[in-house]
Amino acid sequence: MRLELEGITKRFPGVVANDHVDLVIEEGEVHGLLGENGAGKSTLMNILYGLYSADEGEIRIDGTPVTFADPGQAIDAGIGMVHQHFMLVPVFTVAENIVLGVEKVSGFGKLDRARASQEVRELAERSGLHVDPDAKVEDLPVGIQQRVEILKALYRDAALLILDEPTAVLTPQESDDLFDAIRAFKAEGRSVVFISHKLREHRAVADRISVLRRGSIVGTAEPDEVSEQDLANLMVGRPVELVVDKPQAHVQDSVLRLDGLTVHDARGNPVVRDVDLEVHRGEILAIAGVEGNGQSPLVEAITGLRSAHDGSVTVGGTSIAHMTRKQVLRSGVGHVPENRGRDGLIAQFSIAENCVLNQWDMEPFAKRHTLQFGAIAEHAQRLVNSYDIRTPSITTPASSLSGGNQQKLVIAREFDQPIDLLVASQPTRGIDVGSIEYIHQQLVAKRDDGTAVVLVSSELDEVLALADRVAVMFRGELVGPFDMPVAKEAMGLMMAGTDPAEAMAKGA
Amino acid sequence: MSDDTPGPDDQTPPEQTASTSGSSHDRPTDVLDSDELSQAEVEAARERERREVSVELGATIGQRFVAAVTGVGLIVTLLAIFSALVIGALIIALSDDATREALSYFTARPSDTFASAWEVVSGAYASMFRGAFAGLGPISETLVAATPLILTGLAVAVPLRTGLFNIGGEGQMVAGGTVAGFIGFWIVGLPTLIHLPLALLAGALAGALYGWIPGVLKARTGAHEVISTIMLNNIALLVLAWILTTEFFRRPDRADPISKSMQDSAMLPEFLTGYRVNLGLVLALAIAAAIFWMMERSTVGFELNAVGLNPNAAATAGMSPGRSIITAMSTGGMLAGAAGATVILGVQGRITDGFSAGLGFEGITVALLGRGRVGGTVAAGLLFGSMRSGGRLMQAQTGIALDLVLVLQGLIIVFIAAPALVRAIYRIRTEGFASGHVSKGWGS
Amino acid sequence: MTATMTTQAPEALARRNRRFGVFSLVCAVVMAGVFARVPAGAQATFVLTDARGAAVTVPNIVVNVMPVVLAMTAIVLAIAAMQFTRGFGRWSVWVAGAVAALLVAAFLTWAAADSAVSLIALFRGTIRSATPIALGAMCGVLCERAGVINIAIEGQLVAGAFTAAVVSTVFASAWIGLGGGMLAGMLIGGMLAILTIKFHADQIVSGVVLWVLSVGSTSFLASQVLARDAAAYNTPVRFPSLSIPGLAQIPFLGPVLFRHTIIGFAMFIAVVALTYALFQTRWGLRLRSVGEHPKAADTVGIKVLATRYKAVILGGAFAGIGGAWFTLDATGQFSREMSGGRGFIALAAMLVGRYHPVGAFGAAILFGFASGLATSVQRLPVPIPSTLMLTAPYVITILVVAGLVGRLRPPAAGGKPYIKE
């Protein structure tokens, strides 16, 4: 199908998410949609899929104008979408998920499960996306869940497939498999819209690339016509430095030490297995890996949010085994949680209140159990000024800030206290490039102050740019750490579970 | 499960509430480090801020008052009360025999229907008003009725601020009243100055303990407090029914379930002879003031509020959600227990089957009307107290059942619970008004 | 989401086995220490024949109390030994249930010492008390599976009872009365749906509010209208008891299972029909998807809000039938607050039954048994107050929600409004 979008505009309170977007997707084309987080890619695709309605503009399929009031109509028109956060019911089987909405029934509305399984099995066979139709989705690894999502679209015979940030949860190798599948769809004559904020991936798979910035299309190009640097400039609107300016590290004494650390999840399964690690003052140790390989429980164990099942965590020579989270933090640990909306901020609290969230009961912010609002306001004003948090006032609720400024608020709170160890998880996720650069500089500055920094990130580029030493987590085990530099390809292989020696040899 | 986390921007800016999807927040934030951009970001934040009504913890009484009067809250509240009275009027009219009769020939003489309805409705509301406010006697009765309501309202409000829905006020009140009453009749020969505080304290502690149970269950096992408190209510009522049949409690000369009478030394003194309003009111207001300090000014309150709004972030910042849950539920239980004690020691003078009379449940509506805030809850307690006392006069004078008060309260809260409904009816143009979601599903 | 995550750790299982073992031991101690202490030779009589006379007369069972209780104790001890050593694997919960059943049987034997207990009355009483609870629980299951928490069931029961009584009186027909009861339940369901789905009001708050509102309005109308002219408004035509020909003649089981009013049979039908509909049909699959992951359902073209509306309103019909039971089956008139908290027990039954119609039904039977037992024991010279026995369902529910017998897994989207742009 040939799809045209013309003049699509979508406004949200306070912002224009899509501003007169024009886009044409040819039949049998893989069209890359590039843009940084917040550029309006997902909004645009949600409009196309009938989840949002556009305020202005027209959608045409093969020249005929169409409107989609809900996803059902988009599906009927031949559009399929693989969402970044899978739209799968975890407690249903693969087959149930795939047929949901287009189920075949025998008498009395009875579900024909056998037929569904059979059809899914055949479809999986045909498309080379192998999956057990009777497995429960929640038992499947993410990569397979994504296959189910794709099969869901294929089962509905989608002529146009939208893939929204499909590689975010995949290892580089799994991503390559996905690219093969995308090329196969193209060969069948299907069109594909491939959304990503990673330049490399577009160059690998797209026939044409459109760049979205601040809700508008700022350019369309063929991959071999432009350089990555050009694309990057187009995406952020000015020349960006892909490298962080970082002086030589001055490594001092050890601050954090893990010995045989093993952490179990709620069901008693090990999610961190036998990890040994030592981190020193004045260095950034980065932990890479595809998400869900145990990074979160590892960070929680280090910062006292979760207790270790086995092994020990020592901070500054003291074991934290019998400390509460509060005691761990007060012994000189700063923690930037990976999900600021969920863990870092209280959205309804004011900026001032959020600034003292981790020291609300300490002098000078509280005296004899009574909050000292004067001291709190003073502190908040200082942080707002020195960390460039853009806000009308310190009484503004944190929820009113933009993502980047919210993150700066968290950074300000965690950095502006005397700490020996800083654990930062995904500190730049989902924020604008300007804030990313700022946060990177702050991390390096904190390191140069003599703090031991543990950086957990699933963005390989960020890890390689900031790390003094680097380790990889895979299925709960820590591989490394290795001194920098380490080749990107080797990192990718290790993230997929390849033995380090082999990975280094191949990657080099 | 470990990585089943929503996107990082899920709870951030308002437009994100429109979509539970991904981490790509669809807001164009550019990178130009210009003053212009900085200004734009500040403006966007200001715009979003305008859509929310929030009162800071440290706000003064004056600021709170201004916020209450200028915010949408007060308007919605008044409209909710008005709407409830209108619907209540319809119910009164329809349940009136004369009006129904007139309605049967409505097409012939519609004026009869309206005249008859007006008579019965205005009569009912007028006598309700008189019963609540006209003279010392009615005012005393209003305050007597409001005393336990203020306390049971706070018993719901404090947990509500911590993200918990305490439906157990009734059971906690029964526990508190029973134990206070037990101390009240069992200990003989103490001076009032010791006996009364002792009985009150025992009642409050019993209530606290009975609130502590669902708190601990929630903190340790994730058992939903709504379920466990409902169950504990029933258990308390059954146990009370049984206790009152035992030799030890039952009044020897009576066969029905009534306990021995309180010693005079355990009774809350009245201010004026002939009027039932007693020291319990002062006690309730003093407790409310203490709760205000606790929730709005103290470090404990900061923690409780933080846990209520976002337990994950609170835990990450070093607070202890489990402990806060237990604190909030125990405090709630203590308040309800104190309410039970004021009823037994202030008004009834003996423990009877069902002395709690739904006051614990009414606390839910009081707290919801007060939106979980201390001042609002006290005001709501006074309002509902006046409706209770006015309703009694209405029943005596006009024969309209006291249950009308329950209907009115229910209707008020329907509108309060769904502010969007009030806005839809009256076409108020305001968005983002805090509706205070408390439920997070049954899970832990 | 790493690969190995689904199996339970052995330590957790061992801990659970130990916990069940301790439970069995405590039961054995109570049985041997309390229930076996009767004068030697004391006999208990269990009546198995209905007073109304069945085609076949079954002789009463007469047992010697002490040896029988001691034999039961021995079985429990054997089970305890097994629990401490090997455990029962996936049957653990069932075995613990069997221990509890033995405890109850021993209690009953002890209570009936030198006296007689009619098992027919006990089990008929069980099913009868379970009827409104089970029907209310079906309402709960339907709402929760669609992602709407409904704690207004109590209100739906009382509204159903009220409306059924009035309508049945006015139209002099139990069937029309039943229809009225269903409509009342659906009306409250509809209000819950509008408040929570359209106006995004908090689901628990809305439920509480509707409960207060329906208890208030029915009480008001009862004293304002019904009490003044009971003959005109509050003397409903009741449903007669029906016997299923043939089946009702089966000794013991016949009167227990096959002789009820139409509402009693409706409960059985509701359980079976709802189980089939939820888990075997397209309708059920879609409804459950809406409760688990509404956005996923939306993206495949399922109308999330419409599905929720329908589920909540249909659920109201079940609760309405349960409410009608009070006035059209149990008693012949409406009295204020007559559902007496059964709606909350229904809620509890739904939770104990883990959101499954059959499980909820089982829990309702369990709770019905507790009240049947309390009634039976009331007549016996037993030093246990029957009011205290009535607390059993509540205690069991607290234990269940506290996860002492395994973790609850509610539908994932329960309690959250679904807000589209």
What is the interface pTM, i.e. ipTM, of the complex?
0.84
Q: Residue B137 in contact with residue B276, Cβ under 8 Å?
A: no
Read off the pLDDT band of A507 (50, 70, 90): low
CA-nearest of B331, B342, B419 to B154 is: B331
Read off the pLDDT band of C181 (50, 70, 90): very high
Q: Do B23 and A429 touch (CB under 8 A)?
A: yes
CA-nearest of A100, A195, A338 to B4 is: A338
Considering only the beta carbons, identify the residue of A85, A265, A366 that sits closest to B22: A85
Give pLDDT, residue B439. Answer: 40
Q: What's at C265, amino acid-wise?
A: F
Best mutation target among A150, A269, A477 (most C Cβ atoms within 10 Å) is A269
Of the listed ranges A234-248, A469-483, C80-94, the one predicted with least confidence? A234-248
Kindly list the structural domains of chain C, giving each domain's residue range(s) and its CATH number in brackets, ordered by start: 10-113 (no CATH), 121-401 (1.10.3470)
Best mutation target among C399, C401, C421 (most B Cβ atoms within 10 Å) is C401
Question: Taking residues C394-404, what's their average pLDDT?
Answer: 81
Q: Residue C324 in contact with residue C133, Cβ under 8 Å?
A: no
Pairing of β A216-221 and β A208-213:
antiparallel
Residue that wins the pLDDT comparison between A226 and B428: A226
Q: What is the DSSP letter of B5?
A: P
Calpha distance C22→C80 (Å, rounded):
7
Q: Give the percent of chain A with pLDDT over 90.
A: 40
Q: What angle (nearest 5°) sits at the alpha carbon of residue A296, between those of residues A293 and A298?
A: 90
Q: What count of residues does chain C have? A: 421
Walking along chain B (444 residues) 10 residues at a time, the average pLDDT comes out as 35 34 36 57 74 64 68 78 93 87 85 90 94 93 96 96 92 97 94 95 97 94 87 94 89 86 93 90 97 94 93 93 96 97 94 90 90 91 95 92 90 83 68 40 41
Calpha distance B46→B50 (Å, rounded):
6
Of the listed ranges A258-272, B52-66, C92-106, the one predicted with least confidence? B52-66
Q: Give the percent of chain B with pLDDT over 70.
A: 83
CA-nearest of C300, C382, C395 to C352 is: C395
Strand-pairing partners, residue A479, are A472
Calpha distance B367→B379 (Å, rounded):
10
- Within A308-402, residue ranges assigned H as helices are 325-330, 351-355, 373-386
Residue that wins the pLDDT comparison between C417 and C81: C81
Q: What is the DSSP letter of A254?
A: E
Kindly list the structural domains of chain A, giving each domain's residue range(s) and its CATH number in brackets, ordered by start: 3-236 (3.40.50.300), 241-332+420-508 (3.40.50.300), 342-417 (no CATH)
Kindly list the structural domains of chain B, giving each domain's residue range(s) and its CATH number in brackets, ordered by start: 138-404 (1.10.3470)
Tokens of A46: 């949600």
Cβ neighbours of C208 in B, within 8 Å: 167, 364
Q: Do B12 and A406 touch (CB under 8 A)?
A: yes
Give pLDDT, residue A18. Answer: 87
Give pLDDT, residue B428. Answer: 61
Q: What angle (nearest 5°) sits at the alpha carbon of residue B150, between those of residues B147 and B153?
A: 145
Give pLDDT, residue C5. Answer: 35
Neighbors of chain C with 3 or more C-beta pairs under 8 Å = A, B
Read off the pLDDT band of A226 (50, 70, 90): confident
Helix, strand or coil, per DSSP, at residue C332 = coil
Neighbours of A243 (CB within 10 A): 9
Pairing of β A421-425 and β A452-456:
parallel
Considering only the beta carbons, identify the residue of A81, A88, A111 that sits closest to C285: A111
Read off the pLDDT band of A391 (50, 70, 90): confident
Q: How far is B436 from chain A (nearest CA, A)?
A: 11
Indicate if the pLDDT at residue A201 is higher than 50.
Answer: yes
Q: Edge-to-edge strands of the sheet including A79-82?
A: A79-82, A160-164, A191-196, A30-34, A208-213, A216-221
Cβ neighbours of C421 in A, within 8 Å: 46, 51-53
Q: What is the DSSP letter of A338?
A: S
Cβ neighbours of B44 in A, within 8 Å: 14-15, 402
CA-nearest of A473, A389, A465 to A431 is: A389
